[in-house]
Chain A
Amino acid sequence: MIQWTVVNKGLQVGTIKITGVGSASVVLIGDTEVISTSSVFDTPPESLIIGPLVPFTGGR
């Protein structure tokens, strides 16, 4: 079994500047036990449709 011991000493940060946090990302200023994030993005060739404009079926 892995024995993992952490001693948190002083943590002081001046300024955090972030442009973007996107697609199941996490910015955490604090403690946690488990982080599990997943992001799926699909742009296959068949997602390019060429032809007259047809609305997608199936309304809300």
Chain B
Amino acid sequence: MRERSFVQSFAQHSLGRIGLVGIVVMLLFGIVGPLLVPYPSGYNDATPLALPSAQNWLGTDALGLNLFDQIVWGARTSLFISVTAVLVASGIGIPLGLVSGFLGGRLGGLIDSVIEIAMTIPTLPLMILISAIAGPSVSTVAVVIGVFSWPTLARIVRNSTLKLASLPYIEAAVILGIPRRTIMFKHILINAAGPALVDLTIIMATAVLTEAGLSYLGLGDPNAWSWGGILQTAFKGGQHFHAWWLIVFPSLAIMFFVISFNLLGLGINETLNPKRE
């Protein structure tokens, strides 16, 4: 019985491929872009609120700054936020999920209760509170999003771990004297990675949406270019009804990023649980 490797199966799945392409585009924009495109600042002598043209591919905003440049730099911010959020969430959620699922007992139950409580607390209002008090900054927002995303991830990892822990090959590892830490972080994790990865893509997508939302509410970092921030300036300045490009392009950028990651997640999910009958 030949089983295709995960990567091969995934590559067959069209949704996942589209998502992957989207992500690569985003990476190009966010990593390579800022190296090629000037940081939008100061008062340009370009005309403010100019329509998209050959000179300004996507038009300009109220200060005359090139929208395309803003979007490129915004991509970098979005990448930074989603990656940071994922790192924070994984750093907390994955170990807790593994420990809680594998070691079980009182500790496991305790962690699970903490997870459940953390999951019920509405996060956006709390994030608003924190941002309002701590002051807006990209790092703060990213870390906070990560801190609010770990419970779901931990729950997913815990559920996978519980299923895996009673499998013979894990028991074999115990009997062979493999240290528990190794069992959790190697033997179990490599098998539990699937659903966890799906959740990670969701975290990345949600992180950008949340940051955009926070920026829209005026809690974004004024020193960093972000797509939500562009929207916020546009809405606040009342330009949105005339300068449609200020609304459309950042929103498209947001949706592109989010859809790409969601597609990736769906692709991974389908590869793991093929529903072909």
Interaction A to B: no
Which B residues lie at the A interface, using CB under 8 A? none
Query: Contact residues of A with B, CB < 8 Å?
Result: none
